[in-house]
Amino acid sequence: MNPVIGYTAIAAVALASALIGFYGLRVSRTTSDFYVASRTVRPWWNASAIGGEYLSAASFLGIAGLILLQGAGGLWFPIGYTAGYLMLLLFVAAPLRRSGAYTIPDFTEARLESTWARRVTSTLVIVIGWFYIVPQLQGAALTVRITTGLPSWVGSVAVAVLVAVIVAAGGMRSITFVQAFQFWLKLTALAVPVVALLLILGGGEPPAQLAPAEAFPPAAGPGDLDVYRTVSLMVALLLGTLGLPHVLVRFYTNPDGVAARRTTVIVLALLSVFYLFPTVFGLLGRAFAPDLATAGEADALILLLPGRLVPGIWGELLTALVIAGAFGAFLSTSSGLVVSLAGVISQDLLGGSVRGFRIAAVVSSLVPLVVALSTESTGLAGSVGLVFAFTASTLCPMLILGIWWRGLTARGAIAGMLTGALLSGGAILGGPLLSAAAPALGPFLEQPAAWTVPLAVIVTVLVAKGDQRGIPRGTDAFLTRLHVPERQVH
């Protein structure tokens, strides 16, 4: 691949992000974007912004790679990423908006009236955020290595430093407009190459390809389903979306609960359209680039396929477009996460000052960088899937029970969150060692959500039942506030 394209595309996106980050702040109505006008943000803008922040390296590169590598098993990831918003709509969207909480720790403290429950939630949010940033940095490492030939660490360091500087300097606050723009950039960066590839393949001489029966063997097809793994993955992805720290902030900018629901439905529609394109990329990859189907390389499919199938300058332009989209994905997701993490860290540990926010932003970029540099990516979609499993086992039971069950107490919530964290964290980190000793346990450790989520719920309910005197005094008032519809304004 021509390294000039890689350098140009990456530099252009980095520069554009930095400029929008620094100058966008002046253009946007900063305060009102948070407090006043934010409550008049249209559901379409809000939904685009949620999509812009949500679609990460795993969505942009990982899904196509997984379809190439595993076959139809990879199709379940985009289904789960999208249907997670259905669960968010059913159980969380409107009540969470009405709670007036701005972050998940805020919600916990308001609902359970306990500083300790808040601290445990904050710690979990920070851990989840850090491990969600790691795959973004690994995606950047892969992109830089494939497209420029520079060593991988350059990509991780570049994104981490860029995000730390932009966020610490005050740019890229959760400006709705910027994140909304990111969604449409990412969609364009995949849709245009897909349409171009399909037109070229449909019109001209088809290049060398595998026979359909070889490219799509029934053994890797939808019929050959590993039931436990699929169910467990779905539990993780459907319930994990509820607890993502950077998603909740966006719900606050809806005018009311009804608008929060409408926004969520639009997010579902936007994601449904977006995920068709990585899916097509993955299917094309199985037919035209089967040689890329090795762990670690498969995630580069989207970056390499346009150049392989389209010769000359048009191929190079399409490649530049997908590189730009990929870098946009790493930067937008990472900065969205770093902003929410820095907010939580500075509020809970550093007294909420601007200096504290800056320190927290730098720390929140450096910790994931260390983890990304010291580990090897085995697949972007897979590692993000594990973060979802951890979130589903820790924050999801607390959120859902907190919204719907008046018997929840601080002790119950803390016990449940710690149980979920220990079990799912232990399975994810200790899994490789344990499954070498007992191979039969392998699937249960690699996809733990199907048993860790129910256990976390059971522990939460049992401890809370034994602690009925611990029910917060304000429970009835708070639940009323969550569920009673706002006064209608016509």
User: Taking CB under 8 A as the rule, does residue 207 contact another protein?
Assistant: no
- Which x/- pattern, by CB under 8 A, does the window 400-439 give for another protein? ----x-----------------------------------
Q: Is 120 exposed, middle or buried (0-12, 13-18, 19+ CB in 10 A)?
A: buried
CB nearer to another protein: give 327 or 388.
388
User: Taking CB under 8 A as the rule, does residue 268 contact another protein?
Assistant: yes
Distance (Å, rounded) from C-alpha 252 to C-alpha 489? 19
Segment 107 to 146, residues that bind another protein, using CB under 8 A: 109-110
CB nearer to another protein: give 221 or 454.
221
Each residue of 13-35: b (16+ CB within 10 Å) or e?
bbebbbebbeebbeebeeeebbe
Least Cβ distance, residue 185 to another protein (angstroms)? 22
Residue 124: closest CA among 300, 387, 449: 387
Could you tell me which stretch among 10-18, 83-91, 387-395, 430-438 binds another protein (CB under 8 A)? Answer: 83-91
Q: Which residues contact 179 (CB under 8 A, 6 or more apart)?
A: 48, 49, 50, 52, 53, 332, 336
User: Taking CB under 8 A as the rule, does residue 485 contact another protein?
Assistant: yes
Least Cβ distance, residue 430 to another protein (angstroms)? 30
User: Taking CB under 8 A as the rule, does residue 454 contact another protein?
Assistant: no
User: Taking CB under 8 A as the rule, does residue 61 contact another protein?
Assistant: no
Segment 456 to 475, residues that bind another protein, using CB under 8 A: none
- Given 3, 149, 151, 212, the residue binding another protein (CB under 8 A): 212
Alpha carbon 90 to its chain centroid, in Å, reads 19
CB nearer to another protein: give 174 or 319.
174
Q: How many CB atoms lie within 10 A of CB 347?
A: 20
User: Taking CB under 8 A as the rule, does residue 79 contact another protein?
Assistant: yes
Measured between alpha carbons, how far is residue 364 from residues 94, 168, 251, 474 in Å?
30, 10, 23, 34
Could you tell me which stretch among 102-110, 132-140, 377-385, 417-425 binds another protein (CB under 8 A)? Answer: 102-110
CB nearer to another protein: give 145 or 481.
481
CB nearer to another protein: give 94 or 408.
94
- Are 353 and 25 contacting, i.e. CB atoms less than 8 angstroms apart? no
User: Taking CB under 8 A as the rule, does residue 226 contact another protein?
Assistant: no
Could you tell me which stretch among 255-263, 366-374, 377-385, 437-445 binds another protein (CB under 8 A)? Answer: 255-263
For the residues of 288-348, what is the DSSP string, one character each?
H-GGG-STTTGGGHHHHHHHHHS-HHHHHHHHHHHHHHHHHHHHHHHHHHHHHHHHHHHHH
Distance (Å, rounded) from C-alpha 270 to C-alpha 264? 10
CB nearer to another protein: give 40 or 378.
40
CB nearer to another protein: give 140 or 345.
345
User: Taking CB under 8 A as the rule, does residue 237 contact another protein?
Assistant: no
Distance (Å, rounded) from C-alpha 266 to C-alpha 369? 34
- Given 354, 429, 441, 458, the residue binding another protein (CB under 8 A): 354
User: Taking CB under 8 A as the rule, does residue 283 contact another protein?
Assistant: yes
CB nearer to another protein: give 6 or 472.
472
- Are 138 and 292 contacting, i.e. CB atoms less than 8 angstroms apart? no
User: Taking CB under 8 A as the rule, does residue 371 contact another protein?
Assistant: no
Q: Is 437 exposed, middle or buried (0-12, 13-18, 19+ CB in 10 A)?
A: exposed
User: Taking CB under 8 A as the rule, does residue 483 contact another protein?
Assistant: yes
User: Taking CB under 8 A as the rule, does residue 40 contact another protein?
Assistant: yes
- Given 287, 289, 301, 421, the residue binding another protein (CB under 8 A): 287
User: Taking CB under 8 A as the rule, does residue 44 contact another protein?
Assistant: no
Long-range contacts of 358-365 (CB under 8 A, 24+ apart): 358/168, 361/164, 361/167, 361/168, 362/164, 362/168, 364/126, 364/129, 364/130, 364/133, 364/164, 364/337, 364/338, 365/133, 365/160, 365/161, 365/163, 365/164, 365/167, 365/334, 365/338
Lookup result for tokens 């199709």 = 75
Could you tell me which stretch among 91-99, 419-427, 452-460, 462-470 binds another protein (CB under 8 A)? Answer: 91-99
CB nearer to another protein: give 376 or 476.
476
Least Cβ distance, residue 100 to another protein (angstroms)? 4
